[in-house]
Structure 1
Amino acid sequence: MPSVTIGRMNQGRLDGKIAVVAGATRGAGRAIAVELGAAGATVYVTGRSTRGQRSEIDRPETIEETADLVAAAGGRAIPVQVDHLESGQVKALIERVGREQGRLDVLVNNIWGGESLFSWTDRLWEHSLDTGLRILRLAVDTHIITSHHALPLMIQNPGGLVVEMTDGTADYNAENYRVSFFYDLAKTSVLRMAFAQGKELAPHGATAVALTPGWMRSEIMLDAFGVTEANWRDALAAQPHFAISETPAYTGRAVAALAADPQVARWNGRSLSSGQLAQVYGFTDIDGSRPDAWRYLVEVQDQGKPADVTSYR
């Protein structure tokens, strides 16, 4: 296949491929949609926030804006408002994809929406139970509902790919408590979902993986530090380890590289990171670097060492 450049070194084309990025309103989902579209895939971008209606997160980003960014990158995107907790809405989405395209090649389960719900300080018995269970529904049930409806269409053709987006690698999460009971359970559950789907999909010629970004400079993260992508380094005064952070495009390029890999089945059921895949596939972040956040976290940040990204990006 011919390749496309722009920081996506030797990345294959995805012309004729059909993708659904579930949870593409902002952050990693938005960037994944852009990179898949730029590589030639037709991308259905879903989420709850539209120009006419905001979700409970109440942020300005919309699925239509994501579709416009895909178009600006030379791709084709179809925005569809979907609440992935509503089985009927997800079923209708997949039926539409089947009716309009006749196939599904890539499913990215990036639904989350729990950013403002969990507490970093409340222990299990102190945390609001209703809120905690809502977090699990948003992080786990949404992925299960989406895969349940999407996989029958995907396995009609060999070579399908499911990407379960999470936070943390299987090795890291197995050894480290992720500060909040509900957050820990939510993000670790997604790792196991990829493993389980991999087992069930393999006989049908499809692959499932879990993928984590590093410390990602999403819209919400930049706002939390009071910076923009243009001046993000100003945040280092408050948190020097933020120097290892990466843009959402880095994760988007990781997914596009996986989707274009004819040998993607080698990763089936595994937990992967953006930094790890950059070393394998040769893509870079938008500044030309290759941040390896999870190695940095283990070897520098968690060891209490001063921030130093030398040899880590």
Structure 2
Amino acid sequence: MAADFKGKVALVAGGTRGAGRGIAVEIGAAGATVYVTGRTTRERQSEYGRPETIEETAEMVTAAGGRGIAVRVDHLEAAEVEALVARIRREEGRLDILVNDIWGGEKLTEWNKSAWEHSLEKGLHMLRLAIDTHLITAHYALPLMIERPGGLLVELTDGTAEYNATHYRLNPYYDLVKTGVIRMAWAHAKDLAPHGAMAVALTPGWMRSEMMLDAYQVREENWREAAKVQPHFVISETPRFTGRAVAALAADPDRARWNGQSLSSGGLAKIYGFNDLDGSRPDCWRYMDEVMEAGKEADATGYR
């Protein structure tokens, strides 16, 4: 279904790059006003040291047909989040979509390490970045969102509830973060339902974020070259695929049926009929279970 978000207001918290950027652009393409937050601006970088900025994302939103507004916010700082929501109330008077895509743990994660081996400082900071930021943002933003019926909260995570329930995510901190966000969405759903609003947890598949492409030393134009290093990268998808999942969900007048559920970009693509930018429809989590985890040779035939 074609999304029409003219007059709608969205906040994409953590929209500097990756899924947040893809979501902001796709919501903008449907005509929404999108507030894009993050810590990296053209004048000031975060500790990531990455070139992507919130201004760049906001400009992409506007170019796509919406209105992008970049606001530098550290979502661990409650006062900054409170000021952000006060600004949205003052300027727009409403909030229809809240996307919690704040993360920041890529440089903190130590894979395949037990709790006593993993850096305690890095692990606890990861929990703060991925859990506390989402709760702080929800605390201030949801009261504005529930003032009108139909509000949608999307909590971004990694892995579906079904996948994460049976697979250890390679260290206790990361495992707790990604399963915790799913439970958080379920809890928010219980609180939002009486107000005519809803919450879901949403996971991308193996996403070709800017950082992932750099890790494999490829660009979007030649991303398949990365399969020479990691053959299962053949199932990967663009951040815009997740954006299209959010846009399709938000445009569905019967979306309340998903309240509290764990969803995936590939799963929603089957239901709503959207494709990735290249016209394919990757079904990553089924592939992960049936091919990668099963130890089979990489082959995306039948999965995209």
Alignment match, 1:176: 167
Identity %: 68
**Once the 2 structures are TM-superposed, how far is the Cα of residue 303 of structure 1 from its aligned partner?**
0.2
Alignment match, 1:245: 236
SS across alignment from 1:61 = coil
Residue pair 1:164, 1:190 contacting (<8 A) in 2 also: yes
Amino acid at match of 1:51: R
Q: Does 1:196 align with 2:187?
A: yes
Alignment match, 2:199: 208
Residue pair 1:37, 1:75 contacting (<8 A) in 2 also: yes
Q: Does 1:36 align with 2:16?
A: no
Alignment match, 1:11: 2
Where do 4+ consecutive residues of structure 1 move more than 6 Å?
A: none
Residue pair 1:11, 1:283 contacting (<8 A) in 2 also: no
Alignment match, 2:18: 27
**Once the 2 structures are TM-superposed, how far is the Cα of residue 258 of structure 1 from its aligned partner?**
1.0
Alignment match, 1:124: 115
Among 83, 88, 94, which residue is 1:97 paired with? 88
Distance 1:230 1:23 in 2: 25
Distance 1:248 1:141 in 2: 24
Alignment match, 1:55: 46
RMSD over aligned Cα atoms: 0.6
Distance 1:263 1:180 in 2: 38
Alignment match, 1:278: 269
Q: CA deviation digits over 1:8-27, x for unaligned, max 9? A: xx322111110000000000
Residues 70-79 or 285-294, more deviating: 70-79
SS across alignment from 1:143 = helix
Give the number of aligned pairs.
Answer: 304
Distance 1:38 1:45 in 2: 14
Q: CA deviation digits over 1:241-263, x for unaligned, max 9? A: 10000000000000111111111
Amino acid at match of 1:257: A
Gap runs ≥5 in structure 1: 1-9
Matches within 5 A, 1:70-149: 70-149=61-140
Distance 1:81 1:256 in 2: 24
Distance 2:99 2:249 in 1: 11
Q: Does 1:229 align with 2:220?
A: yes
Matches within 5 A, 1:295-306: 295-306=286-297
**Once the 2 structures are TM-superposed, how far is the Cα of residue 308 of structure 1 from its aligned partner?**
1.1
Distance 2:2 2:177 in 1: 32
**Once the 2 structures are TM-superposed, how far is the Cα of residue 69 of structure 1 from its aligned partner?**
0.8
Q: CA deviation digits over 1:195-216, x for unaligned, max 9? A: 0000010000001000000000
Distance 2:184 2:298 in 1: 34
Alignment match, 2:278: 287
Amino acid at match of 2:196: G
